[in-house]
Amino acid sequence: MAGTVTEPTARTATTLADGRELIYYDSGAAVSRNAVDRRPLDPRPPASEVRRDPATGDWVTVAAHRQARTYQPPAEECPLCPSRDGRLSEIPADDYQVAVFENRFPSLAGPPGELAGGLRTAGPGAGRCEVVCFTADHDASFADLSESRARLVLDAWTDRTAALSALPGVEQVYCFENRGAEIGVTLAHPHGQIYAFPFTTPRTARMAARAAAHRTATGRNLFDDLLAAERADDRGRVVLAGEHWTAFVPFAARWPYEVHLYPHRRVPDLPALDEAERAEFPRLYLDLLRRFDRLFGTGRTPYISAWHQAPAAHRDELALHLELFTIQRTADKLKYLAGVESGMDAFVNDVSPEHAAQRLREVAR
């Protein structure tokens, strides 16, 4: 079956002109990666701050220096393309397969520090933010990648999750991709990001609370039961399934077209996947992305693709899964967050989950 064999991944680490780390990932034998970053870069920005909302307990990051980050430059000035023809970018090499580097304008950076207490709980924005470039081709998309290249990206996500999870003060690692100007993407080059948070994110904290309540009430794991129920439901929200993964539209989907992809074996994070699960993932994930692009007949559908990994405090109960969704609801309409959603976090979905699953099955090839 396609995607079941992969070449070893070569990993080459170097540094950029301002001291940020850059890592190249290549399939097969090691590639010479000795290009030097010759840009006269400014010093790295000041640290951000994290503040805790006393009313909700949620953490908010304040990173004012990000106002100066690069915003939708023309293709010839893209900072994620390789350095070629005298134009220097974040990638010193003249070509690459997958590259990961520390964000030049990070929301979080540096070691942990002391938190002030009381109603004004705050502290340094510790952690790390990285950029993951999926390909050197500026005009490509993740959906255009081969299965072997998608596997290389998975290997990079896995490697970085393991490394970032080991940093002092890091509680949760989040790998994600935003695609499309409609989503708010500032750089058109195909890329994603990784955040190493010094706290458990609000959505994950709510999941952990629900998992704990489910365990108390039933003695079982919430995510085991959730996946089993979706696979057995005769209303047809499963979009596609393989030997090791199932993709389904969730029962209470918040977004017009939203798909969750779960491994059948519950694991806490990407490093815990076995080889069979890693081998099957690229085929199913690329299939899902290509179905999203065929939904409206308009080309590339804007989306967010988010890996949910268990934080350090909840590894036994939370389950690794990927949530893929778009804000597009028809060919010419977007799902904007209205007052009830932005103001109260009470979502209203314009598309029934069962219809969304049917449409995603219909656009299979």
Question: What does the pLDDT read at residue 117?
Answer: 81
- State the pLDDT confidence band at 1, using cuts at 50, 70 and 90: very low
Q: Is 28 in contact with 8 (CB distance < 8 Å)?
A: yes
Model pLDDT for residues 61-77, shown as the tens digit of each residue: 999 999 888 889 999 99
How far CA 108 is from CA of 65, 66, 129, 210, 272, in Å, comes to 11, 11, 6, 28, 25
Beta strands at 333-334 and 321-326: parallel, antiparallel or unpaired: unpaired
Element (H, E) at 294: helix 275-294
Q: How far apart are CA 168 and CA 157, in angstroms?
A: 19
* Cβ-based neighbours of 303, under 8 Å, separated by 6 or more: 177, 178, 179, 180, 183, 289, 292, 324, 325, 326
What is the pLDDT of the chain when averaged over all its residues? Answer: 95
Amino acid symbol at 163: A
pLDDT of residue 32: 84
Closest of 249, 242, 279 to residue 264, by C-alpha: 242
Q: Sign of the CA dihedral 269, 169, 157, 64?
A: positive
Here the tokens at position 186 are 């500032």
Q: Kindly give, in sequence order, each residue whose CB lies less than 8 Å from that of residue 32, ignoring residues fewer than 6 positions away.
A: none
Residue 94 has pLDDT above 60, yes or no: yes
Q: Calculate mean pLDDT across residues 302-316.
A: 96
Q: What are phi and psi of 121, to 5 degrees?
A: -70, 125
DSSP-based three-state secondary structure for 308 = strand
Residue 211 to residue 193: CA distance in whole angstroms: 27
* Nearest CA-CA partner of 268 in 311, 230, 234: 311
Half-sphere exposure of 12 (CA within 13 A, CB side): 20
Nearest alpha-carbon partner for 275 in 286, 288, 265: 265
Cβ neighbours of residue 129 closer than 8 Å, sequence gap 6 or more: 102, 103, 106, 107, 108, 109, 193, 194, 195, 196
Region 297-302: what's the mean pLDDT?
A: 93
Confidence at residue 55, expressed as pLDDT on a 0 to 100 scale: 96
Q: What is the mean pLDDT of residues 123-139?
A: 97
* Count of positions (residues) in the chain: 365
In this prediction, residue 37 has a pLDDT band, given cuts at 50, 70 and 90, of very high
pLDDT at 127: 97
| Dihedral sign of CA atoms 228, 231, 232, 235 in order | positive
Percent of the chain whose pLDDT exceeds 70: 98
- For 131, list phi and psi in degrees, rounded to 5: -105, 135
Cβ atoms of 134 and 190 closer than 8 Å:
yes
Residue 4 CB-half CA count within 13 A: 6
Under 8 Å between Cβ of 29 and 50? no
pLDDT score, position 31 = 82
- Domains (range + CATH), the chain: 9-199 (3.30.428.10), 203-362 (3.30.428.10)
- Collapse the DSSP code of 118 into the 3-class scheme (helix H, G, I; strand E, B; otherwise coil) and give the result: helix
Res. 7: pLDDT tops 70: no
Integer Cα distance of 335 and 332 in angstroms: 10
Active site residues: 191
Which pLDDT score is estimated for 3?
A: 37
pLDDT band at 6 (very low <50, low <70, confident <90, very high): low
Q: What is the pTM of this model?
A: 0.96
Instruction: Give the closest residue to 106 by CA, choosing from 164, 150, 58.
Output: 164
